[in-house]
Amino acid sequence: MSWTEERIATLTKMWEGGSTASQIADELGGVSRNAVIGKAHRLGLKSRPSPVKAGEKKAAAKKKVAAPAKKPAAAKPKAKPAAPKADTKPVAAKPAGSAAAKPVPQNSQPIPNKPDALPKIHSVGPGGFVRQGPGDQQAPIPPAPPRRLVPAKPSPDIADKTSLLDLNDRVCRWPMGHPGEPDFHFCGEKVNPGFPYCVQHCGRAYQAQLPRGARRPPPPLPFGGPRVR
C-alpha cells in the first residue's frame, strides 16, 4: 500500500482527531499500526498522549533480522545513560479526566500574550483542515494545553452526517464519499453486532466466496470505488 493523498488526509484527520494508531491503521487497511505511527511522524504530526514520556532510555541496541554483516569497528555512540538532560521540565499535562482530582488549582495558562502575533493566513482545504504553508512548521505550540483538545467540527456542511469524530464502536464505519472532500462522512448506521459495519455494508464488505464460474459482476469497493472525474 502506498500513501496516497487521500490516505494521508485520512491519517492526518484521524490522528488529530484523537484516534489511536491502531484505529487509523484499521480504518485505512493494508497498513500496520507501526506504519501509521511512522508516517505520522514523518508527516510532522506527533506528540500525543504517549505512555512513554521523557527520560526514556535508549540503552537497548536494536537488532533487526539476522544481521548480515557488521561494519568493522564501527562503534556507535549509542548507549548513553549518562548525561541527564535537565532542560525539559515535566509539564504536567494531564488530560484532566478527573477534574476534581487536585484541590490545588494549578495555575492555568499565563496566557502567553503575543502582542506581535502576526495575522497568519491559513488556507483551508477540503474537509476543513488547515493547510500548512511551505515553511510553516506547525509552530512549536509553546502553551501545552492542559486539557485534551477537541477539534471543532470541520464544517457545518456535514453537521448532520457521521463525521470521523462521530465514529465509535456502535456505528457503521463504511465511508461515504472520499476522504478530504467536504461531504466525506461515514454511514453511521447501527452496526451489525460484532462487525464494524451495519448489516447492509457488512453485506458489501464480506461477500461469500462464490464457486468458480459464478462470479458476480462488480465487487463494490469502499470509498465509492475508483474516482471518476
Partner DNA sequence: CCCTGATTCGC
Partner DNA sequence: GCGAATCAGG
> Of the ranges 25-33, 107-115, 154-162, 180-188, which one interacts with DNA (CB under 7 A)?
25-33
Nearest to 33 by CA among 42, 20, 50, 47: 20
Q: Quick one: 93 or 199, whose CB is closer to DNA?
A: 93
Q: How far is the CB of 110 from DNA (least distance, A)?
A: 25
Cell 453537521 identifies what position?
A: 159
Query: In the set 13, 72, 75, 78, which binds DNA (CB under 7 A)?
Result: 78
> Of the ranges 57-65, 88-96, 102-110, 147-155, which one interacts with DNA (CB under 7 A)?
57-65
Q: How far is the CB of 183 from DNA (least distance, A)?
A: 27
Q: Quick one: 67 or 228, whose CB is closer to DNA?
A: 67
> Of the ranges 52-60, 89-97, 171-179, 212-220, which one interacts with DNA (CB under 7 A)?
52-60
38 lies in the binding site for DNA (CB under 7 A): yes
46 lies in the binding site for DNA (CB under 7 A): yes
Residue 213's contacts (CB-CB under 8 Å, 6 or more residues apart) are none
Q: Which DSSP state fits 169?
A: T
Residue 221's contacts (CB-CB under 8 Å, 6 or more residues apart) are none
Nine cell digits for residue 104: 490545588
80 lies in the binding site for DNA (CB under 7 A): no
Query: In the set 9, 12, 27, 37, which binds DNA (CB under 7 A)?
Result: 37
Q: What would the DSSP string read from start to end of 181-226?
A: STT-EE--PBPPTTSSS-HHHHHHHS-PPPPTT---S--PPGGGSS
Sheet strands (E) in 59-127: none
Q: How far is the CB of 10 from DNA (least distance, A)?
A: 13
H/E element holding 175?
Answer: strand 175-176
Contact residues for DNA (CB under 7 A)? 1-3, 20-23, 31-35, 37-42, 46-53, 55-65, 67-68, 76, 78
